[in-house]
Amino acid sequence: MIGTSSRLLRLLSLLSSRPSWTADELARRMEVTDRTVRRDIARLRELGYDVESDPGRWGGYRMRPGHHQIPLVLDDEESLAVTVALREAAQTGLLGDDQAVLSALLKLRQLLPARVATQLGAMDDVFEHTTRAGGLPLSPGLLAGLATACRRSERLRLSYRDAHGTGSTRMVDPHRLVFTGNRWYLVARDADRGAWRTFRADRVVRAEPTGQVVRVDDPPDAAKFVAETLTSGYPLYAVVRLHVPLDQAMRAVPPPQGVHRPDGPDATIVELGGTDVESLADRLVRLGLPLTVVSPAEVRDAVRRRALALAEHNS
C-alpha cells in the first residue's frame, strides 16, 4: 500500500494526463476504493488544487485549466541533467525551434549554482556535435500539443502537408511520437480510413484538439512501425544476422534504418534496405561487426568479395 503523499502525487499526475476521469477509473488505476478516491480529491482541494467534478453516477473529475502546479525543485545532478538535455535539444532540433530551446537554456543557466555551472563549462570544452540534417521548422508548442494528445488519447483535427506540398485535413487518433535522430514522426490512426499512419511532425500545419477521448485498440509498436514505413521504399532489401546482442545491433543500425528482432541473447536479425547491391554491401562492411548475410545471395557475394579484398590489402 503506497503512502498518502505518494498516492496524492499519483492522483495529480492522472488528473493532468487527460480531460476527465470517473471515480471508478481512478480507483482501478490507483488500486484503491472509490471512497479513497473521493477522500483524496477532498484533500487536494484543501491544498488548493482546483479539481472540478460532475454529479451523478457517471460524473467525472478534472483539473480546472490553469490550476496550481507543484513547485519544481532540482538537486545538483538533476539541474545538470536538465541543462545538458536542453543543450542537446538545441543542437539536434529534438524539441523543434532552436530559439525557444536556447531561450530556456539561457534562463536555466543563470539560475545554476556555481559548482554546477563549472561542471557544465568543463563539458562544453570537450563536447562536439555534427551538423544537423535539414528539415522544416517545427514549433515546440506544436510538438507539445501532439505529445499531450497522445497522452490523453484525444482525437485531433490534423492539417497536414505531404512531401509534394499538398494540403489535407485528417481526423486522427494519436498514439505515439517517435524521434528518428533527425525528425519527429507522429504515429496515429486515421479515423476516416481506419488505418495506422505516420505523419512527419514538421509537416503538420495545425493540430486542433477535439475534446473527444478515444480508445485505441491493438496499437502497433510505434518505433518499429516508423522504421518499417521509412524503409519500405527501397528497391532492394537484405536480411542480415549480426552476431551481437539486440541493443548493440540497434546502435549500429538505428531503428529507423532497419527492422530488428533478437535471435538468441548474442545475435540479432536485421532487415535493411538499399538502392543497389554494391552500396548495400559497402554499408554492411562499414558496420565493422561480425555478420552473416541471410539473403539475398547477390548481397552475400558482394560482402564476401569486399571482405576478401580487405584481407588481401592488410596481409
Residue pLDDT, tens place only, 8-27: 878 887 887 777 888 888 98
CA-nearest of 243, 233, 230, 232 to 293 is: 243
Give pLDDT tens digits for 113-125. 777 777 766 666 5
- The rounded mean pLDDT for the chain is 80
Q: Please count the other Cβ atoms lying within 10 Å of the Cβ belonging to residue 22.
A: 16
Decide: 269 and 308 in contact? Cβ < 8 Å: no
Asked if residue 113 has a cis previous peptide bond (ω within 30° of 0), the answer is no
Query: What are the cell numbers at 180?
Result: 528518428
pTM: 0.49
Residue 101 to residue 90: CA distance in whole angstroms: 6
- Going along the chain from its start, the domains and CATH numbers come out as 4-63 (1.10.10.10), 76-126 (no CATH), 140-220 (2.30.30.520), 231-314 (3.30.70.250)
Residue 241 to residue 40: CA distance in whole angstroms: 54
CA-nearest of 284, 259, 256 to 270 is: 259
Decide: 270 and 259 in contact? Cβ < 8 Å: yes
- Residue matched to cell numbers 532540433: 93
* pLDDT-flagged residues of the chain (< 50): 1, 130-134
pLDDT of residue 21: 87
**Residue spans of alpha helices (H) in 47-173:** 76-92, 98-111, 114-126, 140-152
- For residue 138, the SS3 value is coil
pLDDT of residue 93: 60
Query: What are the cell numbers at 46?
Result: 484543501
Query: What are the cell numbers at 164?
Result: 509534394
